[in-house]
Structures are given as structure tokens and as C-alpha cells.
């Protein structure tokens, strides 16, 4: 007898459509093409490498940035956080590919939170086999304060709660992946 291992469920909404609206600015990547499949090295089993990201056009009163990667399609009620870099200085306008690795280079003062896999680093795409395509939202949040006011032990939920009140604008690009 064959067992159906697919996970039947509706497609989750874009999580950023559910937050208070904010102006947008531009984020680009040498590695992520908006709406297209991720490169192999952004997949957990094929490299686990954070993508290169560049941004421009943030509000003039931006005092810091937070960069996140979130998968709303994970089979959990809360999605899956793959990456969070907090307190990026306002003068920074890019992160190199691989910056999210355990030994990667981040701007001075910036730090990573633990992803939902437990590591303080980028965790590449790793959806369950036979699941629907997953979306990976890479978001640059322009923050109106020099520090988000959390430390490296904060959860991604606490980070998100703080961003809901301190985000001036968002720049969003997303890739997809299915196993």
C-alpha cells in the first residue's frame, strides 16, 4: 500500500500584506531573481549560502536596517525564519553573498538571531519532500532607530514585533524552491 506523503493545505498569504502598510524602496540581488527559483547554493543541502543583497532609496531618516528571510509556506502555523540580521548601520547598502554564514562578515554592530533551525546564521531552503513550492521572502527593513532594541537571544517573533512599530519602509524580493 502506498502512502500519500503530500501535505495538503492552502497557500499562505504574503505575510507582509498582513502588516501595517509601509512605503517601499528597492532591493536587488546578484543571486535572487524575484519570483524565480533560488540558486542551488541558497538551498540547505547544496550550499546554505546567504544571497548577495543591495538596497537603495530608503527614507532619509533611516537609522539602521534589519534583513530577514522568511518562509510563510512551511507546514507550521508560524512559518519558518531562515535568517535575521539586526542593527545593520544606516550607511550600509549591501550584504555580500555568504555574509550570513557562521564565519561571514557583517557590518560592525550588526548581529544575527537564531534561525528556526537553531543556528545564528543563514539556513538555506529546505522544504519537506513532495510539498508545494515554498516562497522565501528576503526583506530589508529600514528602521527609524539606531538599534532595534533587542539582543542576539531574542526570538524572531520579538524581532518582528519590534519591526511592526519601528519600520519606516520595506524592500522585498522573494525566491521559490520545492524539493
Domain that residue 117 falls in: 21-177
State how far the Cα of 176 lies from the Cα of 25, in Å rounded to an integer: 21
- Show the cell assigned to 100: 550570513
CATH number at 108 reads 3.90.280.10
State how far the Cα of 9 lies from the Cα of 75, in Å rounded to an integer: 8
Give pLDDT, residue 179: 86
What's the whole-number mean pLDDT along residues 60-81? 97
pLDDT band for 101, please (50, 70, 90 cuts). Answer: very high
- Residue 75 confidence (pLDDT) above 60: yes
Total domain count, the chain: 1
Please state, for a pLDDT cut of 70, what percent of the chain lies above it. 97
- Does residue 79 belong to any structural domain of this protein? yes
pTM: 0.95
Under 8 Å between Cβ of 29 and 53: yes
- Show the cell assigned to 119: 543556528
Backbone angles phi, psi at 15, to 5 degrees: -65, -25
Give pLDDT, residue 4: 56
CA-CA-CA-CA torsion sign (111, 114, 120, 121):
negative
Amino acid at each position: 500500500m502506498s502512502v500519500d506523503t503530500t501535505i495538503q493545505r492552502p497557500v499562505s498569504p504574503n505575510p507582509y500584506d498582513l502588516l501595517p502598510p509601509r512605503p517601499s524602496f528597492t532591493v536587488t540581488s546578484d543571486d535572487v531573481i524575484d519570483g524565480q527559483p533560488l540558486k542551488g547554493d541558497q538551498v540547505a543541502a547544496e550550499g546554505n549560502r546567504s544571497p548577495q543583497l543591495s538596497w537603495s532609496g530608503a527614507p532619509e531618516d533611516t537609522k539602521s536596517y534589519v534583513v530577514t528571510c522568511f518562509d510563510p509556506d512551511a507546514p507550521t502555523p508560524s512559518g519558518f525564519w531562515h535568517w535575521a540580521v539586526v542593527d545593520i548601520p544606516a550607511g550600509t547598502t549591501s550584504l555580500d553573498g555568504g555574509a550570513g554564514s557562521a564565519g561571514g562578515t557583517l557590518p560592525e554592530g550588526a548581529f544575527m538571531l537564531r534561525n528556526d533551525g537553531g543556528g545564528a546564521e543563514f539556513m538555506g531552503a529546505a522544504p519537506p519532500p513532495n510539498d508545494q513550492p515554498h516562497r522565501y521572502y528576503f526583506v530589508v527593513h529600514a528602521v527609524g532607530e539606531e538599534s532595534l532594541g533587542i539582543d542576539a537571544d531574542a526570538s524572531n517573533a520579538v524581532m518582528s514585533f519590534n519591526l511592526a512599530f519601528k519600520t519606516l519602509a520595506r524592500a522585498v524580493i522573494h525566491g521559490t524552491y520545492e524539493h
